Chain A
Amino acid sequence: MARNVAINPPKMCQPMGAILAYMGVHGCVPLVHGSQGCSTYPRYNIARHFRESAEVAVSSLAEDAAVYGGAKNLTEAIKNVKSRMNPALIGICTTCMSETIGDDVKLISKKALPPGDAVKIIPASTPSYVGTHLTGYDNAMRTLVETLAVKGEPNKKINFITGIINPGDIREIKNMLRIMKVKNIFLSDISETLDTPIMPGGHKPLLPDGGAQPSDIIDSANSLGTIAICRAAGSAATYLQNKFNVPAVIAPAPIGIANTDRFVQNIGMLSGASIPDEIIRERGRLIDSIVDVHHYMFGRKVAIFGDPDLVSAIVRFCAEAGMNPTVAMTATKQKDFAPDIKAVNTEYKTDTQILEGTDLYEFHESIKTYRAELILGNSKGKDIADDEGVPLVRFGFPVYDRVGVYRYSIMGYKGSIYLLDQMTNAILGHKYDPDKLHQ
């Protein structure tokens, strides 16, 4: 992109992703070392996507910190979070401000509590001027594992790193693992913490139930392997491989047939598990669902934007369903993104335009040239869909103008069926000749 100005870039800063990673750990309070907006804005976005509250502490940096550094604020913040909430972990994320003034967060947090204190501090460095929300997720995830993982007895489990996906997705992946009888550790798991029930009498715990147990993260050094389904957030897997010889499999997101096949095969490879009949039947239902709609969907032009691993997996799935992915766009640069899509282009004779590290203004310009009958992306795609007069099927983060998107899965064979049905129904509901809908 030759422009200096970013116009409608669908990417957030590192603290956002780090907070989401921390929110998937049981008893972990995220603490942002920065100005008050640095916690308030991510909280707002989490609340409107998940329709859940997100309690995030902030060190409330002000002018004096700009001059003298933020050590005093961070120390006080750590002490106050500990004394009021008694969390298992405090997950620190830095910001553009604290990084620019040069606070040594590792050192400050080490000194904040007495040696051997029960509260573990995770001192992630997440400067907002480097990378995107996914970089922040990756940095927090890696720092969690670096800080906690300890070699012990083999546990015969597989570690999973999901990246930023929905509670529904995590539940579906866990369901597949249950069917395959594979023991697992999710290193961050928002399936319960960001999809909480209203309990009888309105009783709620101070910090949400569920999430990855810190003891499991400690145990992650003893697993059979780590599968990261978000390649933009695989560095914790690489760390576990290098440090503890836990094999790392950093692979595409399990969306569509080939990518889910690969996911299932990877699980089998690491665990030795066979592929149960129930999984074969689910796969068969996905193929059946594509067969059912291929007359509606063949050659349909679709433009997709979002986080790189989700977009490239969806591009492949659309091609598998006979659709024509015209434009694939991500704001986060990720080295596998372009090769993935080029491979799809070669295999399916498609001509998907690849936009990487750019913004929705450019995405929209590209759609004007290459056309789309359907757009896939988060809520930020609404205006483009409206301008082009085509439907928007929502996935990714954040989705705030539709309810429930976070509850459902677009992953695994089952989730892929759901995604395809959403796409097909969008086309059928939009401008399909009703006469043809009898069959």
Chain B
Amino acid sequence: MTTILPECDIPIPQRQPHIVCHEPGNMILPMCNVQTVPGDLTERGCTFAGCRGVVGGPVKDVIQLIHGPIGCAYYTWGTRRNLSDVKLHRKYCFSTDLAEDSVIYGGAKKLYNSIIESHELFPEGKAVFVYSTCVVGLIGDDTEAICRQAQEKIGIPVVPFHCEGFRGVSQSLGHHIANRTLFEKVVGTEEPGTTTPYDMCIIGEFNIDGDAWIVKPLFERMGIRVLSVFTGNASYHDIPPMHRAKLNIVQCQRSSTYIAKMIQDKYGVPYINVSLFGMAQTAQALRDVGKFFHLEENAEKVIAEELAKYQSKIDQYRKKLEDKKCFIYQGAPRAWHWMGPMRELGIETILTATTFGHKDDYEKIMEKANPGHVCIDNPNALEIEEYLIKLKPDFFIGGLKEKYLTYKLGIPFINGHSYEEGPYAGFEGFVNFAKDIDVAVNSPVWKFINQPLEAK
């Protein structure tokens, strides 16, 4: 294992420990979860993004109120594709829209009034989530006290999240804050109507492009009762009874292991990690859950049904994708979630990167990596460009911010954050994923890039 200093980073050698080339038997991990080098064109977001955008945002029937100047509210309005069957959370953007006077004199009154007004105009909101942005932390509004007062007045939960953007080093702290806040203030405040011996929560599944709508029925067909999905297509009232699950499974192990652990520690509910992407990993997840609940036969039956339906399609796509090489750059877990599934399609991941991975994410990547695999922590735009040119992957799975850079370089791309034509989870979703890779890689457009126009 060696660390690498790309050419673009020669002026900022502090980036070197973040970029490693995998050497079996001599494994070191990239340095991670530390402050970004200022001005390096990072792709990272902020703590607010992790809290409001990722974990809190998908809760569908609450008023998602952003306390601060307008930008942060606007930019997170309907942006992430955490779909639901209720439109409140993505259709509306609620903001205290703080102006200069509030920055000078405080935003407390504006926040209090905003909570009351939102509730009056949208009584269908089951709770109010209040997210603090940078300025609120600096001017020191006592959002805890304001939310408490407002809650007494309107009689529904008002939950403050202290997720000012400048806290922490990336989105990651925002996930943690959202988990802890929901655990401390919401979990355990209501009991489920009924319980069964087969109650389970799916944690860290945000229903991106409908992922939860694919994976939840798989477990239900096994005889599991899914008590709650945290937080994809979740109602506010799905969160309080999470402590009564018999088992929790964790899909996004970066953003949501926190709450699984807290529930385990306080209520003794065990949790297991799963990967609900790809045929083998999804099957394994079903088997693990089946084993826990002694529903092994049911699990095998569902797996057999799904494979009968979808395996031949995957085999077809494999023929078209065999021997391709890819670069996966995701927030963190999907980088390693997808390395195995890629191999099911005959694709080798030669390069991975994560925006906010921790040590455990990089361990999971390295367990799956072949010799020579390059792994980058918190890559910046110039590093991404350099590595796309240097290693020439056949396609790149990244996020929207990287999409058009990749296209200009003539490299096929799949949006792994919000998907192209998803959902991508589960057996059925993996067929969509394979199809999107096929569409990207085998589109006729790419041939024109190497056919320049010349005079006859």
Closest residue to B98 on the A side, CB-wise? A129
Are A97 and B166 CB-contacts (below 8 A) given A45-B75, A52-B404? yes
Q: Pick the residue among B8, B41, B165, B451 that contacts A57 (CB under 8 A).
A: B41
Closest residue to A80 on the B side, CB-wise? B39
* Contact present for B44 and A40 (CB under 8 Å): yes
- Chain A residues within an 8 Å CB radius of B68: 96
Q: Mark A1-33, 1 if CB is under 8 A from B, else 0.
A: 001111111011101100000000000000100
- Chain A residues within an 8 Å CB radius of B166: 35, 61-63, 65-66, 97
Q: Mark B98-139, 1 if CB is under 8 A from A, else 0.
A: 111011000001100111011001000000000001110111
Q: Is A338 an interface residue (CB 8 A)?
A: no
Closest residue to B72 on the A side, CB-wise? A37
* Contact present for A55 and B408 (CB under 8 Å): no
Are A5 and B95 CB-contacts (below 8 A) given A41-B75, A129-B69, A202-B449? yes
Query: In the assembled complex, how far is the CB of residue B73 from the closest CB belonging to chain A, in whole angstroms?
Result: 7
User: When chains A and B are docked, how far (Å) is the Cα of A58 from the Cα of B170?
Assistant: 13
Query: In the assembled complex, how far is the CB of residue B49 from the closest CB belonging to chain A, in whole angstroms?
Result: 5
* Contact present for B449 and A200 (CB under 8 Å): yes
Query: In the assembled complex, how far is the CB of residue B168 from the closest CB belonging to chain A, in whole angstroms?
Result: 7
- Chain B residues within an 8 Å CB radius of A3: 117
User: When chains A and B are docked, how far (Å) is the Cα of A85 from the Cα of B9?
Assistant: 10
User: When chains A and B are docked, how far (Å) is the Cα of A127 from the Cα of B99?
Assistant: 10
- Chain A residues within an 8 Å CB radius of B110: 4
Range of interface residues on B (Cβ < 8 Å): 35 or more
Q: Mark A97-110, 1 if CB is under 8 A from B, else 0.
A: 10011000000000
User: When chains A and B are docked, how far (Å) is the Cα of A85 from the Cα of B382?
Assistant: 9
* Contact present for A129 and B36 (CB under 8 Å): no
User: When chains A and B are docked, how far (Å) is the Cα of A42 from the Cα of B451?
Assistant: 35
Residues of B346-390 contacting chain A, CB below 8 A: 381-382
Residues of A79-129 contacting chain B, CB below 8 A: 79-81, 83-85, 95-97, 100-101, 127-129
- Chain B residues within an 8 Å CB radius of A78: 39
- Chain B residues within an 8 Å CB radius of A4: 96, 109-110, 113-114, 117
Q: Is A43 an interface residue (CB 8 A)?
A: yes
* Contact present for A12 and B70 (CB under 8 Å): yes
- Chain A residues within an 8 Å CB radius of B157: none
Query: In the assembled complex, how far is the CB of residue B441 from the closest CB belonging to chain A, in whole angstroms?
Result: 15
* Contact present for B71 and A41 (CB under 8 Å): yes
* Contact present for B65 and A35 (CB under 8 Å): no
Closest residue to A56 on the B side, CB-wise? B41
Q: Is B411 an interface residue (CB 8 A)?
A: yes
Q: Mark B160-173, 1 if CB is under 8 A from A, else 0.
A: 00000111111000
User: When chains A and B are docked, how far (Å) is the Cα of A6 from the Cα of B118?
Assistant: 9
Q: Is A383 an interface residue (CB 8 A)?
A: yes
Are A129 and B100 CB-contacts (below 8 A) given A40-B44, A95-B134? yes
Are A5 and B65 CB-contacts (below 8 A) given A35-B165, A52-B404, A129-B98? yes
Are A40 and B452 CB-contacts (below 8 A) given A53-B404, A96-B135? no
Q: Is B2 an interface residue (CB 8 A)?
A: no
Q: Pick the residue among B109, B139, B165 that contacts A37 (CB under 8 A).
A: B165
* Contact present for A11 and B401 (CB under 8 Å): no
Q: Is A177 an interface residue (CB 8 A)?
A: no
* Contact present for A57 and B70 (CB under 8 Å): no
Are A6 and B96 CB-contacts (below 8 A) given A55-B41, A96-B103, A198-B449? yes
User: When chains A and B are docked, how far (Å) is the Cα of A53 from the Cα of B87?
Assistant: 30
* Contact present for B38 and A53 (CB under 8 Å): no
User: When chains A and B are docked, how far (Å) is the Cα of A204 from the Cα of B449?
Assistant: 12
Q: Is A201 an interface residue (CB 8 A)?
A: yes
Are A47 and B404 CB-contacts (below 8 A) given A6-B96, A13-B74, A129-B135? yes
Q: Pick the residue among A53, A95, A128 that contacts B402 (CB under 8 A).
A: A53
Q: Is A132 an interface residue (CB 8 A)?
A: yes
Q: Which 4 A-B pairs have the closest CB atoms?
A: A202-B410, A77-B39, A13-B71, A37-B46
Chain B positions within 8 Å of A, measured between CB atoms, are 8-9, 11-12, 35-49, 65, 68-77, 79, 87, 91-100, 102-103, 109-110, 113-115, 117-118, 121, 133-135, 137-139, 165-170, 381-382, 400-405, 407-411, 449-453
Q: Would you mind naming 25 contact pairs between A and B with Cβ atoms under 8 Å apart? A: A4-B113, A5-B95, A8-B77, A9-B93, A9-B95, A11-B70, A13-B74, A36-B46, A36-B170, A37-B72, A37-B165, A38-B46, A40-B401, A53-B405, A63-B167, A73-B38, A83-B11, A96-B71, A96-B135, A100-B139, A129-B98, A129-B99, A129-B102, A204-B408, A380-B77
Extra inter-chain contacts (16) besides given A8-B93, A200-B453, CB under 8 Å: A6-B73, A6-B93, A7-B94, A8-B77, A9-B73, A34-B165, A41-B76, A53-B402, A53-B405, A65-B166, A97-B138, A100-B139, A101-B138, A129-B102, A361-B92, A383-B87
